[in-house]
Amino acid sequence: MIDLKGKPYVLYGDIFQTGRNYAVVDLNTGGGHGDGWADGIGMGFAEWDGERWEARDFLFGGPVWRPEGWQNIDYELACRPATKPFWMLDLTGKGPSALVVASDAEKWGQMKRLYVFNATSHHLEFAVSSLFDPCMEDGVVTVYHNSGRRDIFGEYTFLRWDGQRLVEYAFWHAETPYNGGPCFVEIHSYKTRKQQRLVMVDNKIIRDGKPFAEFEIHWKPEVPLFEDNVVTSYVFEKVTGLPRRLVMEEPPVAGSSKHLEEMADFTVTGPAKAVELLSPKRKPLPK
């Protein structure tokens, strides 16, 4: 990796674990601002054929970044951006990797674009964007979006690498409508071939547009104030099979618990399938 003042930022090597060398080059150098930065020109992607670099792609727009120690003089950017233009993200824990590009810097965060490598065409393909840094955890790549200044909703999309592309595995959307409507959480699961779509409002669950289940909850007296998504994160884990901490507003710290099973006594009513799916199992709680 090369990072020299006045020269392009370059990431190169066997970055996609294919046995071949590739290079990503930031073309945003010189001019444009008082500090010598210009954003939005683009970046290049090339492959080493053994004798020379062969251009594969030119991507317009971005990256937007500033090195460590940069001062946001005169509020040039709406937020503090990434300290490098792009980096690699392991998609499975064992490779292959995807390219994450730092993009538009907005007041509420900086957008990141994620590209995957097409081993057939030897080109980069746009996969997904995320307001925060996409991460790989518990076998899924997590991306995040929200409504910005209105603070109406936040949502996570969870994807898995199928060998050729990123495929949506689960989805979480929590919303407080600006018109005063009821707060709700929407959960999608692609764990089976048939997609499940659940909406939860006031401890009642609708699945695929039809009433599905209802929780009756009795909070234990010693339980302190709790986050609203203690219940909905429990449902997320039951429906998707993913850990509930992935969607918790504040994941539990060491020595404490925000598991619904430990904070309340509750029952689930509805069809037998709903009761079986959503009732607590007698097994150790996930950490």
The 8-class DSSP code of residue 152 comes to: -
Dist. CA 153–CA 52, nearest whole Å? 49
Give the position of tokens 């099973």: 261
Beta bridge partners of 265: 218
**Distance (Å, rounded) from C-alpha 6 to C-alpha 97?**
29
Average pLDDT over residues 60-76: 73
The pLDDT score that the predictor gives to residue 98 is 94
Query: Could you tell me the residue ranges of all domains in the chain?
Result: 1-134, 138-287
| CA 29 to the chain's CA centroid | 29
As a whole number of Å, the CA-based R_g of the chain is 23
Alpha-carbon distance 268 to 178, whole Å?
Answer: 30
Highest mean pLDDT among 3-12, 86-95, 146-155, 206-215: 206-215
Contact residues for 253 (Cβ-Cβ < 8 A; gap 6+): none
Quote the pLDDT of residue 211.
Answer: 94
Mean pLDDT computed over every residue of the chain: 82
The CATH class given to the 1-134 domain equals mainly beta
Both tokens of 145, joined, read: 């979006």
Judge whether 81 and 102 are in contact, CB under 8 Å. Answer: yes
Which among 225, 236, 201 is positioned nearest to 215, based on CA atoms?
A: 201
In 3D space, the residue among 256, 226, 61, 251 whose CA is nearest the CA of residue 142 turns out to be: 251
Using one digit for the tens of pLDDT, what is the confidence trace for 152-161? 888 999 999 9
Q: Are 24 and 11 in contact (CB under 8 A)?
A: yes
Judge whether residue 80 has pLDDT over 70.
yes
Cβ-based neighbour number of residue 54 at 10 Å: 10
Name the pTM for this structure. Answer: 0.84
Question: Does 271 sit behind a cis peptide bond, omega within 30 degrees of 0 on the bond before it?
Answer: no
**pLDDT at res. 6:** 59
Query: 28-37, 77-86, 122-131, 181-190: which has the minimum mean pLDDT?
Result: 28-37
Confidence bin at 34 (pLDDT 50/70/90) = very low
Phi first, then psi: give them for residue 139, nearest 5 degrees. 80, 5
Contact yes or no for 117/16 (Cβ under 8 A): yes
Band (254; pLDDT cuts 50, 70, 90): very low
